[in-house]
Copies of this chain bind each other. A is one copy, B any other.
Amino acid sequence: MIRVMITDDHLIVREGLRLILETADGIELVGEAKDGAECLELVKKLNPQVILMDLQMPRMDGITAIEHLRKDYPEIAIVILTTYNEDDLMIRGLQSGARGYLLKDSSRENLIDTIHAAAKGETLLKPEILARVLSSKTSVKKEAATQTESILTERELEVLQLASLGERNKEIAYKLGITERTVKAHLQSIYQKFGVDSRAAAVAIVAQKGMLKE
């Protein structure tokens, strides 16, 4: 029996996964967490072999949680749960030590296969994804900032990065655990610093400066 834990902020996703996992042979669902912080709290008690980890969550996101887990529980296999294909966050997650990824609309077989593979220490990645991971820079942490980057505050960068993935203010607010109004405030500040007046223009600048890539 493979001990599996779920970390996802969406109730529906958790329920759906539970339904699938509880009826799968050789898999035991040992617990669930609603965000990265809760995941770290519960992991010792639940002692999972595999963690299905969402990336975008309030309080503590999946990337941060993965980094902590790699340090404290390197033997646990982490599988990223993501909505979109080729998500930059997913790349970062894989760089941080996740062992695979799953689209949230994966088939039941795909899901179960991936969990088994992760438990056995294998990595299941599409080749093109693997190539992207290997070719992109390893250091995820902040480093010598470029001109544009240094102008922005940490929070503004977070907001801008989500906006650059096409997220709406409402979604950004939810993911950062703040109100939509605050998101707008950060965006306004960003626009001022960039000398633009629309999110599309800001995203374009970010894209051209290469702030998205890496």
Contact = CB atoms under 8 A, between A and B. Distances in A.
A202 B200 CA distance: 9
A206 B212 CA distance: 12
A140 interface: no
A204 B164 contact: yes
Contacts of A206: 207
Interface string A169-202: 0000000000000000000000000001011111
Contacts of A196: 166
Contacts of A203: 200, 203-204, 207
A210 to B, nearest CB: 9
Interface string A86-114: 10100000000000000000000000000
Contact-residue bracket for chain A:
20 to 34
Contacts of A202: 166
A206 B205 CA distance: 12
A198 B199 CA distance: 11
A204 B212 contact: yes
A86 to B, nearest CB: 8
Interface string A23-59: 0000000000000000000000000000000000000
A53 to B, nearest CB: 23
A117 interface: no
A168 B212 contact: no
A208 B212 contact: yes
Interface string A14-27: 00000000000000
A166 B200 contact: yes
- Closest A-B pairs by Cβ, 10 of them: A166-B201, A207-B207, A203-B203, A166-B204, A166-B200, A199-B200, A164-B204, A200-B203, A166-B198, A200-B200
Interface of A: 86, 88, 163-168, 196, 198-208, 212-213
